């Protein structure tokens, strides 16, 4: 059996973290090492999907729910504008293989990808 991810351990209360909000299927925490003025993680409660490609193929409705929750928390905790990042694969910086979306907000125009 594989070890539970850090996010599953947070959800179980085994690792301390403030749950910013949650729905039936998704929960949100603040990133422990923020990379932007607002840096939240939107995480499915299910540990079944390692990354966004698996989630999109296996449960697109859950992916859509994550995006909707990201929109809500960006409005509630920031100014409503946000960058949504799914690191996918270790070469892209993914370190936790339990799919999660980084919600980055604040003034990000300096580091714009566009
Ligand atoms: P990844 O690098 O996999 O895309 O993102 C994992 C994120 O989880 C990182 O930004 C990292 O700072 C965050 N993280 C890792 N461990 C913890 C923890 O114990 N608590 C919180 N709140 N965030 C964590």
Which range marks the domain in which residue 60 is found?
6-102
Residue nearest to atom 4 of ligand 1 (CA): 94
Please determine, for residue 94, whether its predicted confidence score (pLDDT) is greater than 80. yes
Domains of the chain: total: 1
Whether 52 maps to a domain, the answer reads yes
- pLDDT score, position 56: 98
ipTM, 2 dp: 0.99
The three-state DSSP-derived secondary structure of 28-97 is EEECCCCCCCEEEEEEECCCCCCCHHHHHHHCHHHHHHHHHHHHHHHHHHCCCCCEEECCCCHHHCCCCC
Q: Is the pTM of this model over 0.95?
A: yes
User: How do residues 12-69 score in pLDDT, each as one tens digit?
Assistant: 999 999 999 999 999 999 999 999 999 999 999 999 999 999 999 999 999 999 999 9
Whether 32 maps to a domain, the answer reads yes
Instruction: Give the distance (Å) from ligand 1 centre to CA of residue 23.
Output: 20
DSSP code for 3 = P
Instruction: Give the distance (Å) from ligand 1 centre to CA of residue 89.
Output: 14
CATH no. for residue 92? 3.30.428.10
- pLDDT score, position 107: 82
Whether 1 maps to a domain, the answer reads no
Ligand 1 binding pocket, CB closer than 6 Å? 6, 15, 17, 29-33, 41, 87, 93-96
- pLDDT score, position 111: 72
Residue nearest to atom 17 of ligand 1 (CA): 32
């Amino acid at each position: 059996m594989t070890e539970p991810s850090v996010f599953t351990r947070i959800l179980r209360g085994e690792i301390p973290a403030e749950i910013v909000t949650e729905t039936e299927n998704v929960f949100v925490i603040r990133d422990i090492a923020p990379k932007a003025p607002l840096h939240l993680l939107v995480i499915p409660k299910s540990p079944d999907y390692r990354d966004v490609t698996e989630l999109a193929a296996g449960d697109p409705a859950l992916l859509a729910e994550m995006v909707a929750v990201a929109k809500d928390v960006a409005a509630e905790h920031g100014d409503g504008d946000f960058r949504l990042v799914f690191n996918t694969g270790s070469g892209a910086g993914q370190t936790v293989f339990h799919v999660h979306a980084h919600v980055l907000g604040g003034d990000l125009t300096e580091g714009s990808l566009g």
